[in-house]
Structure 1
Amino acid sequence: MNSTTNDRLDVMTIRCYTLTAQALHWIVAGLMFTVLPLAWVMVNMPHTAPDREWIYTLHKSVGLTILALVAVRLGWRALHPAPPLPGRMARWEKALAFASHWLLYLILVGMPVSGYLLSATGGKSVPYFGLITLPSLPNNPAVSDAARWVHVAIGQWLVYVLILLHVGATAWHVAVRRDGVLDRMLPEQKA
């Protein structure tokens, strides 16, 4: 068999993630593309801007929603493992895909946790969409500064890199490899 035939066989044998996993993936992706612009807007607003606190509340609330959904997704993933990658992928490609996915999970947990610690130990409230306020923690400038370093100095840049890597790899698999990797995260198409 030639390479094109092998590619078609790979696409035909690829199973999809469950619909629940797919929904969680796309909802979190949409929320990520919401929380990032909110962050850019809020840090560039004048301190006297009337909507500044609401933008901060929205940013924190979306971040906490991401944390909750990622927790659900990790639980779901533990019970429903990822479908196999195409057999045509080299071992190093599969290892890179595995590592980048788990780094994404780590940053999607680490950013909301560090954001919460930044606010909660820095003397700021952590409201959730103005409905409830999460428990505050004792004021601790050292913890708040460490959380700021994780959240702002390191975390945001890791988010950008990992999202670009994830989207870039997806584009590579769709446009160049055409190996059906994206199909695993889309509802199964009946022929």
Structure 2
Amino acid sequence: MSTEVMIAAAPRAATGRYTAAAQGLHWVSAALMLAVLVLAWVMESLPNNDSTRATVVMLHKSVGLTILALTVARLAWRAIHPPPPAARWAAWEAAAAMASHWLLYLVLLAMPISGYLMSAGRGRAIPYFGLFEVPLLTPATDAIWRIGATVHWAGQWALYTLVALHIAAAVWHVAIRRDGTLDRMLPEQSGP
């Protein structure tokens, strides 16, 4: 191993922190997940004939597709840069963390794909922030829409549950365990 690689790897190994790229992808994904949920709630509260509904729907779909792209990027980054080992975790904590993370990744892939199927099943265009239209690769059929709608509905509740568990685990590690787990996903602080 070259000296540069050893020096570059030392701070991460010493701190047990995720890479800056992994941290950035995590927090941008979290912010977009909040945005897509708010957009969904607003979208569902608007009457179909409301003049702003089309814009809210377009934003919801666009943010969802952005989350899909970020999730693929996160998985690729994770494959190349495995998470740092977690010190001082019980075996059950490590297993629960691994299971919940992989389930979150699954939901973050399933939600935009099922949303795509809902749009495609109705033959509705999917404009990406008004810049271009995502091609519809499936036929417009009620069966395609139903599959998408079912997965989207179940995924919504799975997402609520998994995010709540993720936040509860963070609170557990910060307030109860005080083991620095949250610090792994935050930039390293310099100074006293």
Which structure 2 segments of 5+ residues have no match? 1-12
Q: Give 1:139's aligned amino acid.
A: A
% same residue: 55
RMSD across aligned C-alpha pairs, in angstroms? Answer: 1.2
CA distance in 1 between counterparts of 2:15 and 2:172 reads 17
> Could you tell me which residue of structure 1 aligns to residue 89 of structure 2?
89
CA shift for structure 1 position 189: 2.3
Q: Which amino acid aligns with 1:94?
A: A
Deviation at 1:139, TM superposition (A): 0.8
Residue 160 (1) aligns with residue 173 (2): no
Structure 2 distance, partners of 1:143, 1:48, is: 25
Contact 2:120 2:144 in 1 (8 A): no
1:79-112 deviation digits (Å, cap 9, x = unpaired): 00001112x2211111000000000000001100
Displacement of 1:143 in angstroms is: 1.4
Aligned partner of 1:3 in structure 2 is: none
Q: CA deviation at 1:54?
A: 0.6
SS at match of 2:61: helix
1:48 — aligned with what? 49
What does 1:20-99 correspond to in 2, within 5 Å? Answer: 20-86=21-87, 88-99=88-99
TM-score normalised by structure 2 residue count? 0.90
Q: CA deviation at 1:14?
A: 4.2
Runs (4 or more) in structure 1 with deviation over 3 Å come to: none
Q: Deviations over 1:133-165 (max 9, x none)?
A: 01123112101101101102x110001000000
Q: Which protein has greater RCO, CA pairs closer than 8 Å, 6+ apart?
A: 1
Q: Return the offset for 1:121.
A: 2.0
Q: What is residue 9 of structure 1 aligned with on the other side?
A: none
Tell me the amino acid that sits aligned with residue 76 of structure 1.
W
What are structure 1's unaligned runs of at least 5 residues? 1-11
Of 135-144 and 68-77, more deviation after overlay is shown by 135-144
| Distance in 1 between residues matched to 2:141 and 2:86, nearest whole Å | 45
CA–CA distance in 1 between the matches of 2:110 and 2:148? Answer: 10
Question: Within 2, Cα distance between the matches of 1:13 and 1:20?
Answer: 18
- Which residue does 1:105 correspond to in 2? 105
Measure the CA separation in 1 of the matches of 2:113 and 2:82: 25
Number of aligned residue pairs: 178
* Cα shift at 1:122: 1.7
Q: Distance in 2 between matches of 1:190 and 1:131?
A: 41
- Conserved in 2, the CA contact under 8 Å of 1:14 and 1:180? no
Deviation at 1:34, TM superposition (A): 0.3
TM-score by length of 1: 0.90
SS of aligned partner of 1:176 = helix
Partner-residue secondary structure (3-state), 2:122: coil
Contact map agreement 1:120 1:139 (CA 8 A) in 2 = yes
Matched with 1:144 is: 145
Partner secondary structure for residue 100 of structure 1: helix
Partners of 2:190 and 2:17 in 1: CA distance: 12
The answer for the alignment partner of 2:116 in structure 1 is 116
CA distance in 2, matches of 1:58, 1:189: 35
